[in-house]
């Protein structure tokens, strides 16, 4: 079983329950954040995709070489760092989708439909095989 560790945000507030924020609210906040800093001039899809990849690699560093069991039960300090990296990945992903005018939630639900066809329950349940090998 995966142990859940409470993590606090940068203000020392412990995260509780599901977020009350939507992807649209995050998108709008990111638009304001970038505009206030005059960063739109740098936020081309290519640059955002590269930044997203870099942040995803930084996330992976926290898991590199950990046994599976340890990766599921990170110490509080590591979980806090992973939380920040996950946020970075999400923020760049939202910003990239915004620049490309892609509705992330709709894209994700559409992709889940595609995956459901590729991985029907009766073939995919309990296996990690790729759909071409089912």
Residue 59: what pLDDT? 98
Phi then psi dihedrals of residue 102, to 5 deg: -115, 125
| 23-102 belongs to CATH 1.10.287.1080 | yes
Question: In the chain, what are the domain boundaries?
Answer: 23-102, 103-134
- DSSP code for 17: S
* Segment 41-70, tens digit of pLDDT: 999 999 999 999 999 999 999 999 999 999
How confident is the model over 17-31, as a mean pLDDT? 87
Write out the E strands in 22-73: none
Residue 61: what pLDDT? 97
* Segment 63-90, tens digit of pLDDT: 999 999 999 999 999 999 999 999 999 9
In angstroms, the CA 95 to CA 49 distance is 10
Residue 19: what pLDDT? 72
């Amino acid at each position: 079983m995966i142990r859940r560790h409470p993590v606090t945000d940068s203000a020392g507030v412990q995260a509780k329950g599901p977020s009350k924020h939507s992807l649209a609210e995050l998108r709008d906040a990111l638009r304001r954040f970038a505009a206030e800093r005059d960063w739109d001039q740098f936020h081309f899809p290519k640059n955002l995709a590269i930044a997203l990849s870099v942040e995803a690699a930084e996330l992976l560093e926290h898991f590199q070489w950990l046994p599976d069991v340890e990766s599921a039960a990170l110490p509080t300090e590591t979980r806090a760092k992973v939380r920040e990296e996950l946020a970075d990945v999400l923020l760049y992903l939202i910003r990239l989708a915004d620049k490309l005018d892609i509705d992330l939630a709709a894209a994700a639900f559409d992709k889940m439909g595609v995956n459901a066809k590729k991985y029907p329950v009766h073939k995919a349940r309990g296996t990690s095989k790729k759909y071409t090998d089912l």
